[in-house]
């Protein structure tokens, strides 16, 4: 390895602690977060490479594939040209997923179409409308991305590693909400929070049409919020705290005060930093 490359790896943090597992393991790789596959021609923004251990880097490759496929969808329900090859990979790694997106009864297709304000044209049926449903695998994969990207952006903003026992709450949305309500209700609800928006560029080109986010920190520095949007189709919001138990105590207080256990946000697993236990549904 050349001297320049060694200096670069040391500067980025390889050989130090992994930022995704709370520094529990040594970083032996560099992780692009968000994954390069989410971007057209894999041209990701500069400055989003992070030190990671083998488990945190390689253990989410299927999740990366799924979210890349979602990010390349258009509002018409098709994939961009650069995402066409993802369909084959998704079919191989997630058998039945593509078919599950398109498999709808007549009644279900009608309900989905009416929900987002679409009507079939002359000679069309509701089942031909560009409205798809997302099987549970999509929810699972987006939640893994949310956990990982939250920790990456936290590190980028604070230069501190998010602890393995910190708390993260998560909710995601798709463009179906925008089609149904004319806006993303979740983003509108939190629009009053002060937020920093950081340029996302590659070679001077703005990439915010593919990946954009806003980051907020509470006055005490104990609560953080990340708002992320990927292209035309989906995004998420995470609320998190590096103080163990802090987020949980706030939520329990709200539950008690309002006598409810119904929460718009769900906790992500904090035991395994980026990897959720398979089969755990984190979004409903």
The 10s digit of each residue's pLDDT in 83-99 is 567 888 998 899 988 88
The distance from CA 108 to its chain's CA centroid, rounded to whole angstroms, is 27
List strand residue ranges (DSSP E) for 133-233, in order. Answer: 167-174, 196-197, 201-202, 205-206, 211-217, 224-230
Tell me the C-alpha distance between 143 and 140, whole Å.
5
Helices 136-158 and 61-71, axial angle in degrees (round to 10): 100
Tell me the Ramachandran region of residue 80: left when phi exceeds 0, alpha when psi lies from -120 to 50, beta otherwise: beta
| Residues of the chain under the 70 pLDDT cut | 1-13, 74-84, 116, 130-131, 177-186, 189, 191-192, 194, 257-263, 269-284
Tell me the C-alpha distance between 90 and 69, whole Å.
8
Tokens of 1: 């390895």
Which three-class secondary structure state does DSSP give residue 105? coil
Q: Give percent helix, percent strand, percent coil of the chain, each to the nearest 5.
A: 40, 20, 45
Is the distance from CB of 131 to CB of 162 less than 8 angstroms? no
Predicted confidence at residue 144, as pLDDT, reads 93
CA distances from 260 to 243, 251, 253 (A): 24, 10, 10
**pLDDT tens across 121-130, in order?**
888 887 777 6
Predicted confidence at residue 75, as pLDDT, reads 47
């Amino acid at each position: 390895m050349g001297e320049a490359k060694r200096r670069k790896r040391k500067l980025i943090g390889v050989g130090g602690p992994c930022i995704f597992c709370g520094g529990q393991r040594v970083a032996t790789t560099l992780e692009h977060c968000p994954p390069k596959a989410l971007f057209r021609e894999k041209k990701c923004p500069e400055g989003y490479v992070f030190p990671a251990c083998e488990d945190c880097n390689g253990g989410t490759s299927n999740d990366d594939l799924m979210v890349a496929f979602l990010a390349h969808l258009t509002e018409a329900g098709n994939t961009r040209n650069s995402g066409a090859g993802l369909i084959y990979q998704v079919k191989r790694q997630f058998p039945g997923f593509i078919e599950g997106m398109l498999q709808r009864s007549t009644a279900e297709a009608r309900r989905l179409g009416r929900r987002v304000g679409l009507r079939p044209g002359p000679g069309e049926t509701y089942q031909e409308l560009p409205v798809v449903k997302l099987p549970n695998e999509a929810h699972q994969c987006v939640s893994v991305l949310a956990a990982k990207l939250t920790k990456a952006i936290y590190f980028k903003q604070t230069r501190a590693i998010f602890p393995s026992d910190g708390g993260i709450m998560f909710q995601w949305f798709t463009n179906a909400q925008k089609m149904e309500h004319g806006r993303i209700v979740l983003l509108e609800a939190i629009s009053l929070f002060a937020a920093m928006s950081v340029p996302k560029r590659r070679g001077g080109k703005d990439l915010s049409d593919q990946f954009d986010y806003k980051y907020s920190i509470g006055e005490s520095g104990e609560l953080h919020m990340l708002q992320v949007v990927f292209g035309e189709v989906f995004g998420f919001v995470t609320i998190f705290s590096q103080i163990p138990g802090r987020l949980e105590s706030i939520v329990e207080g709200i539950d008690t005060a309002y006598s409810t256990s119904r929460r718009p946000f769900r906790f992500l697993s904090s035991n395994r930093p980026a990897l959720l236990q398979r089969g755990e549904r984190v979004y409903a």
